[in-house]
Chains A and B, each alone.
Chain A
């Protein structure tokens, strides 16, 4: 075979591979979109005010400790705590864990909430970096602050688990704002189904652009920055399509680190959060799945579709790159740590469906998509037959990227309607159409970068810059 013929064979081999991959993924996601639409259609008009009020009855609910790991979060931590204070939930304690911050997180907390050191008996069930002290607020007796040596987010959460009193804990990022009934909603599956729900997560939305004061989301709107608008669309797509579908079959491997509830007993039995990964939330969920199957426990991980948490998204390219590379690296670390579950029938559908899905679509997706973009460019320079193929590939990418995202946006507008202003709806609509052409290639590159970081054993947690979510106060 001559070189040109060989080159052409290789070209067509990869071309067909990319094409088939795209086709399968499009069908898969369209199926998930349909499933979500069906579920949301059933429940979207159900007025549950009576149920929510009844859920406030303390005898129904199970007490929850809210853990807020804070590392250099002096700008956002007060708002986060304030948003937690307005939580509608009968029994809750709030534990802010200052993970050896070098800024004024500790001082800000002590001063703002009038905290003083207390003696609290601690059951040290998980190993953590040394704890220097525990503080309790004079004005809010259910608010505690733990001051410890730096050990990373996972270590801070483990320390919080040791100190927490209640049988369930909820982890929330220092830059997140909760809806007032977030805990009620996320704990609902736990209260309803009892002990076999070991983790429950909720939908997260982006807070940039929203009117936030004193830790409460007063009104929601879409940011003016294109990079943030695209992240809103991305979140809607991820939460409304993938998670709803996967959770229906107990295949959820990620519940957001920004806000999720765990059963303390199950997490302690599993050994707590692992400190050697940047994707500690995913790793824990995968481990819970593994233990569940190995010990035949019939445990479940649930997910509620309604948005319960608002989080700050990066507004710069650099910030987005850091976040996405870290997320992807975290996912790869989790999948790699539990690789023996892949296609292993012992782990049921998690092993045979969820793991292959995560490896092929979530993990290697960026590699294939990147190759697709390269093909696209090459094809347009290689003559008629090739550009025709390039165009076909582009159409597939538009379907996969833009149109599916548009579908998710429509689902959001129709069912949850968190961005009710017509201007915002129009912005989401048009920006979702542009996804394939600029935002998706960017995130593909950032995720590839994450794979590179993992290969070259880059293990640092790149902190995200915070602006703080509250509207700046008018000058006193």
Chain B
């Protein structure tokens, strides 16, 4: 008993000693990090004028900006990120990209070969953010190797290719074996050129459902009116989800050309389709929309009623209809929706006056 007790004491004492050592190391490490952070902050202040000069007028950047150490590289990333976040301007983007190609390419190339996953991910994110096209061959080479096991990393690589080497990116997208989620695809399509979307729509049927959904959404979000006919053709799809999403994207497009395509959905058995029709109806000529929305105010779905009321409240004649319906004795649900829409409308008007 005594010997084993002594052993136990030693084990616990040893563990405590190891943890203390780790703690001391972390404490020193935090001190170093704090010094680095202060150095980086000071650089951000001192370099602000030179960075502005470069961003505003282009040309060769000041020598002090050229990053030759990791901390400076990371600080420049922070500065560029801040510019990119606050100012959306193509010329600024080009200058940033140029700077990254000149002075940060080797760093990212090395980081992409790092054994640490987080470093590779950081490098890929920054390559996308600053559009470092000079590394696309390396990205493709790595994508072809068996070394990439993380789907998150593959996703960033395909995204970089789609952005900067379109044809190759499309090829990898087609051959994609792993199950990426719709969210992944949405992110992938966020900054691809419209021409890539054109090409993707040509082979729409060959894609997985999440990618199809993301593509349909992208047309609406990016307001690609040239694909309106494509969306309208999808309204005949056998998939309920595709139909609802197509209606939603059509709603986001600036112009409605042919109302007859949508009006039939006002009687759909699916409330989601009726809801989207109510949204679209607000954009149709009044002689068509008012009777349709009036009928929809008596819909069995709460969502459809609320949406129809909202659409009606946006035009003067519609508000007259809502005024009429608010006293409706037969349909209290309809009356409630009318009252709420009218109140909301008057709030918005008041807010506008204020």
Which residue in B117, B129, B337 is a CB contact (below 8 Å) of A121? B337
- State whether the Cβ of B49 lies closer than 8 Å to any Cβ in chain A: no
Give the total of B residues in contact with A, Cβ under 8 Å.
48
B38 within 8 A of partner (CB)? no
Partner of B12, one of A121, A123, A403: A403
Binary per-residue interface labels of chain A (400-439) against chain B in the complex, 1 for a CB within 8 Å, 0 otherwise:
0001001100100110010010100110010001000000
B125 touches A194 (CB 8 A): no
CA distance A120 to B343 in the complex (A): 9
Which residue of the partner chain A has the closest CB to B125?
A: A50
The yes or no answer to A193 lying at the interface (CB within 8 A) is yes
Contact present for A45 and B119 (CB under 8 Å): yes
24 sampled A-B residue pairs with Cβ under 8 A: A43-B118, A45-B119, A45-B122, A46-B118, A54-B190, A57-B190, A60-B187, A118-B343, A118-B347, A121-B333, A191-B183, A192-B183, A194-B181, A391-B9, A392-B4, A392-B5, A403-B19, A406-B19, A406-B23, A410-B26, A417-B30, A420-B30, A422-B30, A425-B26
Q: Which of B15, B26, B34, B190 contacts A414 (CB 8 A)?
A: B26
Q: Is the CB of A388 within 8 A of B1?
A: yes
Among B16, B19, B217, B343: residue with most chain A CB under 10 A: B19
Residue A44 at the B interface, CB < 8 A? yes
B221 on interface, CB distance cutoff 8 Å: yes
Contact of B166 with A by CB under 8 A: no
Tell whether, in the assembled complex, residue B1 and residue A399 are in contact, meaning their CB atoms are under 8 Å apart: no
A391 to B13, CA, bound (A): 13
| Interface: B160 (CB within 8 A) | no
Seen from chain B, the residues whose Cβ lies within 8 Å of a Cβ on chain A are 1-2, 4-5, 8-9, 12, 15-16, 19, 22-23, 26-27, 30-31, 34, 81, 85, 116-119, 121-122, 125-126, 128-129, 181-184, 186-187, 190, 217, 221, 302, 306, 333, 336-337, 339-340, 343, 347, 351
Give complex CA distance A142, B15 in Å. Answer: 53
| CA of A45 to CA of B26, assembled, Å | 15
Bound together, the chains give a CA A59 to CA B34 distance in angstroms of 38
Tell me the nearest residue of chain A to B190, going by C-beta: A54
Contact B8 A194 (CB under 8 A): no
CA distance A214 to B103 in the complex (A): 43
A interface: dominant SS: helix
Contacts of A49 in B (CB 8 A): 81
Q: Whole-angstrom distance from the CB of B7 to the nearest CB of chain A? A: 10
Asked if A298 is at the interface (CB within 8 A of a chain B CB), the reply is no
Q: CB distance A410 to B23 under 8 Å?
A: yes
- Give Cα A131 to B168, complex, Å: 60
Contact between B351 and A45, CB atoms less than 8 A apart = no
- Structural contact, A50 and B81, CB atoms closer than 8 A: yes
| Closest Cβ–Cβ distance, residue B192 to chain A (whole Å) | 14
Residues of chain A with a CB closer than 8 A to B343's CB: 118-119
CA distance A433 to B159 in the complex (A): 48
For A53, the chain B residues whose CB sits under 8 A away are 85
In the bound complex, residues from chain B placing their C-beta under 8 Å from that of A123 are 302
Report the bound CA distance from A109 to B129 in whole Å: 43
Which B residues are CB-close (under 8 A) to A399?
Answer: 12, 15
Q: B125, A413: Cβ atoms under 8 Å?
A: no
Chain B residues closer than 8 Å to A426, beta-carbon distance: 27
Q: Is B183 touching A413 in the complex (CB atoms < 8 A)?
A: no
Instruction: Judge whether B27 and A422 touch: CB under 8 Å.
Output: yes
B19 touches A54 (CB 8 A): no
Residues of B within 8 A of A406 (CB): 16, 19, 23
Q: Does A20 contact B (CB under 8 A)?
A: no
A410 and B340 contact, CB distance less than 8 A: no
A473–B179 CA distance with the chains assembled, in angstroms: 54
Per-residue contact bits, chain A 18-53, to B (CB 8 Å; 1 contact, 0 not): 000000000000000000000000111111111101
Q: Find chain A residues with CB under 8 A from B339 CB.
A: 119
Minimum CB–CB distance for A364 against chain B, Å: 25
Question: Does A383 touch B at the CB level, under 8 Å?
Answer: no
Could you tell me the distance in whole angstroms from the C-beta of B104 to the nearest C-beta in chain A? 14
User: Is there contact, CB below 8 Å, between B81 and A395?
Assistant: no
A472 at interface (Cβ–Cβ under 8 A)?
no
In the complex with contacts A123-B302, A403-B15, A45-B118 CB distance below 8 A: yes
Q: Assess the B181–A395 pair: CB atoms within 8 A.
A: no
Q: Which of B1, B30, B81, B336 has the largest count of A CB atoms less than 10 A from its CB?
A: B30
Say how far A412's CB is from chain B's closest CB, in angstroms: 10
A425–B221 Cα distance when bound, in Å, is 47
Contact with B along A161-188 (1 / 0, CB 8 A): 0000000000000000000000000000
Q: Which residue of B is nearest A43, CB measured?
A: B118
Residues of A within 8 A of B221 (CB): 59
Set of chain A residues within 8 Å of B336, measured between Cβ atoms: 119, 121
Q: Which residues of B contact A385 (CB under 8 A)?
A: 1
- A141 interfacial by beta-carbon distance below 8 Å: yes
The smallest beta-carbon distance between A439 and chain B, in angstroms, is: 18
